[in-house]
Amino acid sequence: MSDSFRRQLRALPDFPAELPGFDPESAPADPAELFRQWLEEALAAGERQPHACSLATVDESGQPSSRMLILKNIDDDGWHFATSRISRKGRELSGNPRAALTFYWPSLGRQVRVAGPVAELSAEASARDWAERPRADGSENPDWQLYAVRPAEIEFWQASHDRRHIRHRFGPDGVLPG
């Protein structure tokens, strides 16, 4: 089993034959704008949920955990997501308010990573997010919390068939060297 599974995994498809180019020199200087551009291109390429990403958090012993969630907005507060404060991730964020987000768009061979401290947004914004859920029934959820990751680092990654994958990185004050 394990050997055939290993071989099955090795035989799975790689990136698609056609990959977009990416020239960091001509990319928008604002990472939020570049992200919006890549999200539009992911939608145009047929990605169904390009706003889905993994969220990694860490518990008090240093054990990481991650799960998928939905990006809700990007503004001066950071990259927004919402969840229950009493969920595992909510508890981990109360103990250690830092997180990492990873987006992956297979049809374009693109990945975006965002990491930094996490802030709780207002009760009003959290209630609005809860109310705007699809199929919202008018109920309230006092545990629902909107958070924002304030990026300490962002990396845009473009796969390339010659394996010279392109990494374009931003620090808190702009483009990081290297």
Ligand X SMILES: Cc1cc2nc3c(=O)[nH]c(=O)nc-3n(C[C@H](O)[C@H](O)[C@H](O)COP(=O)(O)O)c2cc1C
Nearest to ligand X of 103, 157 (CB atom):
103
Please, what is the minimum distance in Å from the beta carbon of residue 83 to ligand X?
3
Residues that bind ligand X (CB under 6 A): 49, 52, 65, 67-70, 81-83, 87-89
Q: Would you call 131 helix, strand, or coil by DSSP?
A: helix
What is the rounded (10 degree) CA torsion for 171, 172, 174, 175? 0
CA angle 48–131–47, rounded 5-degree value: 5
Q: Closest approach of Cβ 53 to ligand X, in Å?
A: 9
Nearest-CA neighbor of 32 among 147, 116, 121, 150? Answer: 150
For residue 145, the minimal CB distance to ligand X (Å) is 9
- The residue among 45 and 69 lying less far from ligand X, judged by its C-beta, is 69
Q: Which amino acid is at 27?
A: A
The CB-of-56 to ligand X minimum distance in angstroms stands at 10
Task: Please say which residue, 70 or 175, places its beta carbon nearer to ligand X.
Answer: 70
What are the tokens at 81?
């997501």
